Amino acid sequence: MLSVLLGKKDGYTFWYCLRDGANVSGGGLKEGELVCDENCTQKELMLRTLVNKCRNDGVGRVFTKDVWGLDLKRFGFEKEGDIFVSDGEKLCLPHDCKHG
């Protein structure tokens, strides 16, 4: 069973703990960077959680590294050198629903 719960971690604006069975990992916002534990088994779920939190909290500009294994442009990020950046209002939660 999966769970993603908001917690606290020193140095982070916000931090989430993700439990996937026996595996426990985390991710959050630290000094404007969205980060995720290397051992996270559900990186898309974690990224969606972090992007949603940024959107809901009105977070300004954020950045992340290409550690997610996902197309970050779909989430509103643009590549700038070795990182991906986005203004808070440009962040999005893409979906793959097909209609008609």
3-61 confidence digits (pLDDT tens): 999 999 999 999 999 999 999 999 999 999 999 999 999 999 999 999 999 999 999 99
d(CA 91, CA 61): 9
The model's pTM:
0.93
Q: Evaluate if residue 99 carries a pLDDT over 80.
A: no
The torsion of the CA quartet 2, 18, 16, 4, rounded to 10 degrees, works out to 0
pLDDT at 10: 97
Count of CB atoms situated within 10 Å of the CB of 72: 21
| Inter-residue contact 45 to 18 (CB < 8 Å) | yes
